[in-house]
Each structure stands twice: as C-alpha cells, then as structure tokens.
C-alpha cells in the first residue's frame, strides 16, 4: 500500500516539474488501481503525530506458572483449563495432610500447657514469694538449732594426752586411798573419840573424795563424742548454713515477681511451641496450591496420583480480564524519549482498530533482539476493545514526550 502511494506522489512531482520548467503541455495523471482486497489501516489517533513506532503483543496483566516447593503425590486436581478462578481458590492438593494435622494437634496441646505454666507463674508470684520467705525463716532456725546442739553437748575434741593424764591421776589417787585405808585399819578398833583414829579416818575420807572426783572427770571425758560425732555436728552446721544461703537467694529472686529462670523457661517453651505450630501450619498450607490472583486456568500439567518434585510446573494461570500491551522491539535509541504516563496509540492488527493508551512501565533492564538492544515497555489501554485476546500482535505509536 505504501509503495503505491509513493508511485502516485512521484508521478505528480514529475508532471508538475515538466509544467514549470519545460512549458510542456499538461498531461493527464496516470491511473493507479488500489488493491480493494487489502485492509485499510485506520487513521492514527489524533494528537500523536511525529511519534516513535514499535511492535508489541497483547499480554495478561498477571500470569503465573504455578509450582510446589516440596515433593509429594498429587491427591486432587480441582481446576481444569478454561476455569475461571478466584484469588485464594485451591487448585491442586497433595497427600500428607494427616501427619501435619496430627502434629498441629500435639503442638496445640503443648502450647496450651506452656501458656498455663506461664500464667501460673504470674498468678502465683505472691504465694511463691511468701513461701520463699517462710523457707528462709526455717533455714535460719535450722542453723541456730544445729549451732545450739553443738554448744549444748559441748562437742569439744578431747586429746589422748588429757585422758592419759587423768587416768594417771586416778592411779595415784587410788594408791593413796589404799594406803589411807590400811592406815585407818590400824586404828579402826580404837574409841570413836580417839584422835589417831579420827586423823586416819580423815585421811581416808579425803583420799576417797579424791578418787571419786578423778573418776568422775575420767568418766566425763570418756563420755565425750568421738571424732566422727564431732565431724557430723560440724557438717550439720555447714549444711544448715548452705540451706540458709540458698533460701536467701530464692527469696531475693522472687522479690520483683516470678522466678526469672522459671519465667524464661516457660516463655521459651511457649515460643518453641508457637514456632512448631507455625511450621506445621505452613507445611500443611504448602500441600495446597492456591490461586495468587483471580484469573483463568490456561493449562493444567498434572493429574491425581502423579508424583511431583519441587519446582515442577503444575498449572498456568492468567488474568485474561485485564490485558495490556508489551513492546518487543523498542530500540535503545528511542527509549530516552519514552516516559511513564506518555500517551500512545495502539493498532491492534487482528481487530484493525486503533486504541488509546498510556505508558505504565518501562523495564529498567534491556533485552536483545537479533543483536539489537531493546527495552520492554508496558502500555495500559484506556478502553480495551471487544474481542481483544492475549497474544494478538500490535503496533504502538508513542506520542511526542514534552
């Protein structure tokens, strides 16, 4: 069509030139027959003259190739090619939900127990502090009792030298008593008022008292606890002191609320249960392939009972209700003149229609086409025409950017 128009213009130019310079007789213009079977391109949208032209294609506003992130057997396919899908609708389900459901039930029980333990710590903080105070008082009393017991029994260690000395004194005292008894025996038959008899009796009585005193001392020393008993008494005091220190530490820990260690453990237990719950819920959710947006199922690439692997294409979903234009050969030489929001005229070849639109996105990264550097540009149509389909080829004329 363009070549025919060029021929007409060339003929007009030649004829007009001959008329001016050669003063020749005007000749009739040659007749050029137009091909009436060729479609006539619609007039471009007014106001876009002098713009840049690029080829393009109609594409869905959103398109996704759906995959699973785990390996499992397909339990059910709930969508077929051509189905209209709402966002969040389940498209494909995998097997294995039973184990995750059971795990979620068990974790929920653990989470409940952890929450109850944490609540109990907070609710019983006052009672625990009072009990710690009572334990502290009991420990202090136990220490005092142990110390008193050791003092009451006078648990002093008795050296062997002391025992030997007392036993020697007893031997000597008994010898003196024996001699005093023998001396008294010499005067025992004299009258009671006899001076010699009285003196002998006095020495005998004194010797007997001496023996009795030393014997009592020896018996007392021998009755003292042995080394093991003293060690046990000292150990009882040491244990009571340790118990008192621990009771004091526990009381100090509860002064400002629940036991920090018990509180941290209960919180960690609950956090762990929550993490396990989230993990199992996520794993259960991953068994279902859900539509990320509303659209139309283009292709289903799996069947029930089929084993899939991570990343394997399962289904293709596209938003065919919202179509837009993407250029395919916009050159790097022209892209500096294109701006987002810039108007554009789009010729939809299959529909033989020109439609207004505007640039909504310019790719920041370049592609290559036959060795040329090109940038993909997206155009949103102001009023998409009836019959517009994804994949149709278009020609885009960009208005001059101001």
User: What's the DSSP call for residue 331?
Assistant: B
Which residues are CB-contacts of 241 (< 8 A; sequence separation ≥ 6)? 143
C-alpha closest to that of 89 among 294, 351, 242, 255: 294
Which residues are CB-contacts of 395 (< 8 A; sequence separation ≥ 6)? 53, 54, 55, 56, 346, 347, 349
C-alpha closest to that of 355 among 323, 328, 377: 323
- Count how many Cα atoms sit within 13 Å of the Cα of residue 109 in the half-sphere of its side chain: 5
* pLDDT the model gives residue 334: 94
- The radius of gyration computed from the CA coordinates of the chain, to the nearest angstrom, equals 57
User: What's the DSSP call for residue 326?
Assistant: E
d(CA 207, CA 210): 5
* pLDDT the model gives residue 25: 35
* pLDDT the model gives residue 226: 64
DSSP string of 336-355?
Answer: GG--TT-EEEEEETTTTEEE
Q: Residues for the chain: how many in total? A: 402
C-alpha closest to that of 369 among 336, 397, 328, 398: 328
Domain-by-domain residue ranges, the chain?
1-38, 42-61+322-402, 67-94+287-317
Question: Measured on CA atoms in the order 336, 339, 344, 348, is the torsion positive or negative?
Answer: positive
Cα dihedral 183/188/192/197 (nearest 10): -20
Q: Which CATH number fits domain 42-61+322-402: 2.60.40.1190, 3.40.50.300, 1.20.1260.10, 2.40.30.170?
A: 2.40.30.170
* pLDDT the model gives residue 156: 60
d(CA 54, CA 25): 46
d(CA 284, CA 279): 9
pLDDT by residue for the chain (402 residues), tens digit each? 334 434 434 443 333 443 333 333 333 333 333 343 434 444 444 445 457 999 999 999 999 999 999 999 999 999 999 999 999 999 999 999 999 999 999 999 999 998 888 888 888 778 878 888 888 899 999 998 888 877 766 556 667 888 889 999 999 999 999 999 999 899 989 998 998 999 989 999 999 999 999 999 888 877 766 667 777 888 888 999 999 999 888 888 877 778 787 888 888 999 999 999 999 999 999 999 999 999 999 999 999 999 999 999 999 999 999 999 999 999 999 999 999 999 999 999 999 999 999 999 999 999 999 899 999 999 999 999 999 999 999 999 998 644
* pLDDT the model gives residue 307: 95
* pLDDT the model gives residue 155: 55
Please identify, in words, the CATH class of the domain defined by 67-94+287-317: mainly beta
C-alpha closest to that of 319 among 28, 140, 87, 146: 87
Tokens 């640039």 label which residue?
Answer: 359
């Amino acid at each position: 069509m363009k070549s025919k128009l060029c021929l007409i213009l060339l003929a007009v130019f030649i004829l007009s030139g001959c008329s001016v310079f050669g003063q020749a007789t005007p000749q009739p213009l040659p007749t050029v027959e137009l091909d009436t079977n060729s479609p006539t391109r619609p007039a471009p949208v007014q106001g876009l003259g002098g713009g840049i032209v690029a080829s393009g294609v109609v594409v869905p506003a959103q398109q996704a190739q759906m995959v699973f992130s785990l390996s499992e057997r397909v339990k059910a396919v709930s969508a077929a090619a051509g189905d209209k899908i709402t966002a969040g609708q389940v498209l494909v389900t995998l097997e294995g939900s039973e184990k995750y459901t059971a795990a979620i039930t068990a974790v929920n029980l653990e989470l409940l127990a952890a929450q109850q333990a944490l609540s109990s710590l907070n609710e019983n903080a006052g009672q625990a502090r009072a009990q710690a105070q009572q334990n502290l008082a009991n420990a202090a009393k136990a220490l005092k009792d142990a110390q008193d017991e050791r003092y009451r029994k006078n648990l002093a260690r008795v050296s062997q030298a002391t025992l030997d000395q007392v036993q020697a004194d007893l031997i000597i005292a008994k010898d003196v008593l024996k001699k005093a008894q023998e001396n008294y025996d010499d005067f025992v038959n004299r009258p009671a008022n006899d001076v010699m008899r009285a003196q002998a009796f006095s020495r005998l009585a004194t010797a007997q008292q001496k023996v009795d005193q030393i014997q009592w001392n020896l018996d007392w020393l021998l009755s003292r606890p042995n080394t093991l008993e003293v060690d046990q008494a000292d150990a009882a005091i040491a244990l009571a002191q340790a118990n008192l220190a621990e009771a004091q530490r526990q009381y100090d820990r509860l002064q400002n609320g629940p036991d920090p260690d018990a509180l941290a453990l209960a919180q960690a237990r609950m956090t762990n249960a929550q993490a396990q719950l989230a993990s199992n819920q996520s794993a259960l959710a991953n068994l279902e392939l859900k539509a990320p947006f509303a659209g139309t199922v283009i292709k289903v690439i799996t069947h029930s009972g089929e084993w899939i692997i991570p990343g394997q294409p399962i289904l293709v979903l596209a938003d065919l209700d919202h179509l837009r234009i993407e250029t395919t050969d916009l050159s790097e030489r022209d892209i500096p003149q294109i701006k987002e929001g810039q108007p554009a005229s789009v010729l939809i070849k299959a529909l033989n229609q020109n439609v207004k639109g505007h640039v909504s996105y310019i790719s920041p990264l370049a592609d290559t086409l036959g060795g040329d550097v090109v940038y993909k540009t997206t155009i949103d149509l102001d009023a998409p025409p009836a019959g517009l389909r994804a994949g149709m080829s278009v020609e885009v004329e960009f208005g001059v950017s101001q």
